Amino acid sequence: MDLYTYRCDLVRVVDGDTVELSIDLGLRVAVRAVCRLHGIDAPERRCDPCVAAEATKYLTDRLKNTPLTCRTHKDRTGKYGRYLVRLFDKDGWDINEAMVRNGHAKRY
C-alpha cells in the first residue's frame, strides 16, 4: 500500500459519485468521511432524477457487503469538504472506472 491507501467500509451512498466511508487509518483509529469519487461525474438528482437514481442504485449494489480500499487523490479536502478518492473492491476492481464503463457516470 502506498501512503494514502486505506481499508474502508461503506457507511452510505449519497449519490452516484459521493459516498460516506468509515476509513481505517491503522492503529485502531478510524474516521468517517464523505468522499467524492475522483475523476467521474454522475448525473445530479435535480437535473435527471431517474438516471441519477439508477447510478446511485448501481453504486449501492456494487459496494454493499464487500471490503473496500480507498486511495485518496490528495491529502486534503476539495472545495466542498470532501476527500477525492478512488475506490477498489476486494478483487482490486476500480469502482470509479466501473461507473463509467457501465454508463452511470462520465469521466470528469
Picking from 107, 14, 108, 9, the residue whose alpha carbon sits closest to that of residue 66 is 9
Question: How many domains would you assign to the chain?
Answer: 1
Cβ partners under 8 Å of residue 76, min gap 6: 83
Which contiguous run of DSSP H or E holds residue 86?
Answer: strand 83-88
Cell of 25: 487509518
Structural domain boundaries enclosing 27:
5-107
Q: What is the pTM of this model?
A: 0.91
Is pLDDT above 80 for 91? yes
Q: What is the pLDDT of residues 66-85, one digit of tens each?
A: 999 999 877 677 777 889 99
Cell of 54: 439508477
Q: What is the CATH number of the domain that holds 58?
A: 2.40.50.90
Q: What is the pLDDT of residues 23-62, one digit of tens each?
A: 999 999 999 999 999 999 999 888 888 999 999 999 999 9
Pairing type for strands 18-26 and 68-72 reads: unpaired
